[in-house]
């Protein structure tokens, strides 16, 4: 039997159900994993609430680390007892054990702990594609990173600094601003007290930033647009405050011939080669000290509802994990 967190109806954290499930043998191409740590991400709340759709009932979580307990037919790239991780789903990581397609797994190097792998696979690969693929950051560029003390921000900010960028972050409290500064931000705007676009213009002598990385969505949309230089890039990759509002394309012209994109990790790790490249880049960044795993919150798997409440009330910083 495997303790699993299920969603049978959409709603708040109270809809999360802890159930015991009988796990079948792994099918061809699958392995059975005993999870040692499960990553907690804001996107999990979107599936729970029904913002992102999945057939009910369904599990939650797309990121975890564990040890292989059984191999399905045809699996030759992995071995029983091997430490592995995944960060691109499918849904169902909130579980003690599960069967996963071997094609979505990567081996965890000895230099990376299970907690770090579970906490940074999705967040780290997100930071990787944002900085290297969605836009290739080069030395001398200035970036605005919303939620700079959050899970992705804790990886994105130091990685951007390593690439030679100037980073302006936003944070919701002085404590989070201090964390963002420690991560490498050159300046931090307290968005609840200061107007973000006004501060960005002041900090850039009126020019604006080259790229905005916005994981917040609705609440920061207007300020992000007004923070960009002419022909700057708006990267909207999350909806923490709700979906960004609809807008007419001519708005981008009015604001300076801006570029706008709404990327997602799945489209940057669609092939085995892309997944391996992203994962190895993250592991190399950890090993070299470019990014430092910062697991600041831990909950027992059964307390997933409490973890979601903390996440949605913005009480968390850095990365969080559920422990089976």
Sheet holding 16-21, edge to edge: 16-21, 2-7, 58-59
Region 123-265: CATH code: 3.40.50.720
Q: What gap in Å lies between CA 146 and CA 293, rounded to an integer?
A: 19
Tell me 263's DSSP state.
-
What separation in angstroms does the CA of 264 have from each of 63, 206, 239? 15, 31, 12
Using alpha carbons, select from 63, 58, 100 the residue that is nearest to residue 278.
63
pLDDT at residue 295, as a whole number: 87
Using CA of residue 110, residue 115, residue 119, residue 121, what is the dihedral sign?
positive
pLDDT at residue 285, as a whole number: 95
Q: Which fold has domain 2-113+293-323?
A: Quinone Oxidoreductase; Chain A, domain 1 (3.90.180)
pLDDT at residue 273, as a whole number: 94
Cα angle 17, 317, 162 (rounded to 5 degrees) comes to: 130
Q: Which residue has the higher pLDDT, 243 or 100?
A: 100
Cβ atoms of residues 312 and 14 within 8 Å: no
Biggest CA pair distance of the chain: 62
Tell me 55's DSSP state.
P
Cα angle 87, 91, 95 (rounded to 5 degrees) comes to: 90
Q: Is the pLDDT of residue 1 over 80?
A: no
- Ramachandran area for residue 238 (φ above 0: left; ψ -120 to 50: alpha; else beta): beta
Every domain of the chain and the residues it spans: 2-113+293-323, 123-265
3-state secondary structure of 10: coil
The angle that helices 272-287 and 114-129 make with each other, rounded to 10 degrees, is: 110
What mean pLDDT comes out for the span 265-277?
A: 94
Q: What gap in Å lies between CA 268 and CA 130, rounded to an integer?
A: 10
Tell me 95's DSSP state.
B
Strand extents, DSSP E, the chain: 2-7, 16-21, 30-40, 58-59, 64-71, 83-86, 97-101, 106-107, 142-145, 166-171, 187-190, 209-214, 228-236, 259-261, 295-300, 319-323
pLDDT at residue 314, as a whole number: 81
Q: Which residue has the higher pLDDT, 67 or 320?
A: 67
Q: What gap in Å lies between CA 93 and CA 285, rounded to an integer?
A: 24
pLDDT band at residue 281 under the 50/70/90 scheme: very high
pLDDT at residue 202, as a whole number: 98
Token pair in block for residue 309: 């409440």
Q: What gap in Å lies between CA 161 and CA 153, rounded to an integer?
A: 12
pLDDT at residue 242, as a whole number: 82
Q: Is 199 exposed, middle or buried (0-12, 13-18, 19+ CB in 10 A)?
A: buried
pLDDT at residue 239, as a whole number: 82
pTM over the 0.85 mark: yes
Q: What gap in Å lies between CA 296 and CA 318, rounded to an integer?
A: 6
How does the average pLDDT of the chain come out, rounded? 94
Lowest mean pLDDT among 5-9, 123-127, 184-188, 317-321: 317-321
What is the DSSP code string of 202-262? Answer: HHTTT--EEEEEE-S-GGGHHHHHTTEEEEEEEEE---TTSPPPP--THHHHHTTS-EEE-
């Amino acid at each position: 039997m495997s303790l699993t967190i299920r969603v049978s109806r959409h709603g708040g954290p109270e809809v999360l159900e802890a159930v015991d499930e009988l796990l079948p043998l792994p099918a061809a191409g699958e392995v059975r994993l005993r999870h040692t740590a499960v990553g907690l991400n804001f996107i999990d709340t979107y599936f729970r609430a029904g913002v992102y759709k999945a057939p009910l009932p369904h599990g939650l979580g797309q990121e975890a680390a564990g040890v292989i307990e059984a191999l399905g037919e045809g699996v030759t790239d992995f071995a029983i007892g091997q430490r592995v991780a995944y960060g691109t789903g499918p849904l169902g990581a909130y579980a003690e054990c599960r069967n996963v397609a071997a094609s979505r797994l990567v081996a965890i190097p000895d230099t990376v702990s299970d907690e770090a792998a579970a906490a940074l696979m999705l967040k780290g690969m997100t930071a990787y594609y944002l900085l290297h693929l969605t836009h290739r950051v080069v030395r001398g560029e200035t970036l605005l990173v919303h939620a700079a003390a959050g899970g992705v921000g804790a990886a994105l900010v130091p990685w951007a600094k390593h690439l030679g960028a100037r980073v302006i972050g936003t944070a919701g409290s002085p404590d989070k601003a201090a964390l963002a500064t420690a991560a490498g931000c050159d300046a931090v705007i307290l968005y609840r007290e200061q107007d973000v676009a006004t501060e960005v213009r002041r900090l850039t002598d009126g020019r604006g930033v080259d790229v905005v990385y916005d994981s917040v969505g609705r609440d920061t949309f207007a300020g992000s647009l007004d923070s960009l230089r002419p022909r700057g890039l708006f990267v909207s990759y999350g909806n923490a405050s709700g979906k960004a509002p609809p807008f007419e394309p001519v708005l981008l012209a009015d604001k300076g011939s801006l570029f706008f994109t709404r990327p997602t990790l799945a489209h940057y790790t669609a092939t085995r080669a892309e997944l391996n490249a992203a994962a190895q880049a993250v592991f190399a960044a950890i090993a070299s000290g470019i990014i430092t795993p910062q697991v600041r919150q831990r909950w027992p798997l059964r307390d997933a509802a409490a973890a979601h409440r903390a996440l949605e009330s913005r009480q968390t910083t850095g990365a969080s994990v559920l422990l089976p």
